[in-house]
Amino acid sequence: MLISDVSRETQDRLQQFADLFQKWAKTINLVAPSTQEDMWQRHIADSAQIFRLADRVGTWVDLGSGGGFPGIITAILLSEHQDGWVHLVESNQKKAAFLRVALASTGARGTIHSVRIEDAPTLIPQCDFVSARALADLDKLLEYASPWLLDRPSTAFFHKGRDYESELKKAHGRWRFDLVKHQSSIQADSVILEIGNLQRT
């Protein structure tokens, strides 16, 4: 499958990552097995949406990077630019090993931090964007991301499924923030929540 509006070199990098992913997924659990068959649509194209929503090329922190979605995809898309970087945070050593191989193999613009999310801010003091996919409910995500978002001009992009409204209601109990809801162009019942100006209530 082709991702629109990218160079042939970037498309080749995405294919290289997809091949590597399929190889590693045979031995470690990178994503739910039921979603692997439709990987290009369900994971790669879905992840690519986040990069396109950002208003500029910048520095990203991707939380709980797991199988590389969206962090590795963002790092590959950044390879078309001379600027921008992705800090991928993944505490699982096997998944972190996969992510390191993926970065090295594709020449993507990123670094792996094999630490707990709570320990990452000391290593990555600031960023422009925070991303996460299939990691935790919104309230927990905002807690994880707060060191980079509270009283800062950074923006978060979080993939969410059909229950996002209930997650928003819960999050508003502890947080105030600006919100833009982007309908997913890949999955009809999914959204990407763009969050800025985060404050505790």
**What is the rounded distance in angstroms from the CA atom of residue 111 to the CA atom of residue 120?**
12
Q: Lowest-confidence range among 1-15, 94-108, 151-165, 173-187?
A: 1-15
**Which residue has better confidence, 52 or 5?**
52
**What is the rounded distance in angstroms from the CA atom of residue 114 to the CA atom of residue 61?**
13
* 30 contacts 24 by C-beta, under 8 angstroms: yes
Instruction: Reply yes or no on whether the pLDDT at 113 is more than 60.
Output: yes
153-177, pLDDT tens digit by residue? 999 999 998 889 999 999 999 999 9
DSSP SS3 for 36 = coil
Average pLDDT for residues 112-135, to the nearest whole number? Answer: 96
Average pLDDT for residues 87-111, to the nearest whole number? Answer: 96
User: 150 to each of 126, 129, 198, how far by Cα in Å?
Assistant: 11, 12, 5
The predicted pLDDT at position 38 comes to 65
3-state helix, strand, coil in the chain (%, to 5): 40, 20, 35
46-68, pLDDT tens digit by residue? 899 999 999 899 999 999 998 99
Instruction: Reply yes or no on whether the pLDDT at 36 is more than 70.
Output: no
Encoded amino acid at 122, one letter: T
Q: Name the band, by pLDDT with cuts 50, 70 and 90, for residue 187.
A: confident
The predicted pLDDT at position 43 comes to 80
On average, the pLDDT of the chain sits at 91
Encoded amino acid at 91, one letter: S
Site of tokens 């995500």: 141
12-33, pLDDT tens digit by residue? 999 999 999 988 887 776 655 5
